[in-house]
Amino acid sequence: MRKAPALGAFLVKYDPCRKIRGGMILSGNLTLIVGPMYSGKTTELLSFVEIYKLGKKKIKVFKPSMDIRYGVEKVRAHSGIEEDAIPLENPEEILNIIDGDEKAIFIDEVQFLSVKVYDVAKKLVDEGIDVFCAGLDMTYKQNPFDTTSKLLSLANVVIKKRAVCFICGEHNATLSFKISGGESEIDIGGKEKYIAVCRDCYNKIQRGEIDVHSHIG
């Protein structure tokens, strides 16, 4: 593995499009897209990818290597749209992989990366590279994902998405609920394991007032 470039090493690259004013590099933006499962986080991330691609801007797309739902080198939305992505074990690998003249980098399922992604994202935006991250804010037990929480403090743009509640059908689902597959809060899966629900329906399920399984299938 190559050694991570020192902070500032990217600056030596000539890039006519880099955001420069008065000889100073302008910082990039960190955009964080959060919400429960099925809320459109990946779709929104991919719509930003498209915008940069349409502008012929150089980008790179990353994902945690542990997310093997749709193949290790793909970011994929529940609707089926997808994009090639570079799998990461460790967020610091991003600094070895990028060339330094990217306009933006994109990370899906960021909740599965270590909190070191905070330092990586800070370096990149300080170098004028836009960073877009999408991820779950909470586990199905309503515990915050540490990495997402930390990125929330750094982000200058936060997009909080909602899904359609699986029980009541309203577009106000902010929570994910696990319907099968054991108790683990780190558990890759899709519709066979998780539904999106609003807070009222989540609480009704917890109190036994709704039989979630009678709504499935």
Of 109, 127, 185, 209, catalytic: 109
194 contributes a contact to ligand TMP by CB under 6 A:
yes
Please list every residue from 34 through 93 that binds ligand ADP, using CB under 6 A: 35, 37-43, 77-79
Residues 157-186 that bind Mg ion (CB under 5 A): none
Q: CB-side exposure of 145: number of CA atoms within 13 Å?
A: 26
Q: Which residues contact 138 (CB under 8 A, 6 or more apart)?
A: 36, 144, 145, 175, 176
| CA-CA-CA-CA torsion sign (35, 36, 39, 44) | positive
Give the nearest distance from C-beta 168 to ligand ADP in angstroms.
11
- Helices (DSSP H) in 103-161: which residue ranges? 117-126, 146-154
Residues in the interface with ligand ADP (CB under 6 A) total 15
User: Shortest gap between Cβ of 196 and ligand ADP (angstroms)?
Assistant: 5
Q: Which is nearer to ligand ADP, 109 or 127 (CB)?
A: 109
Structure token pair of residue 90: 């460790």
Examine residue 194 and tell whether it contacts ligand ADP (CB under 6 A).
no
CA pair distance 158, 32, nearest whole angstrom: 5
Could you give the residue numbers annotated as active site? 109
Binding site for ligand TMP (CB under 6 A): 37, 41-42, 67, 69, 136, 139-140, 176, 185-189, 194
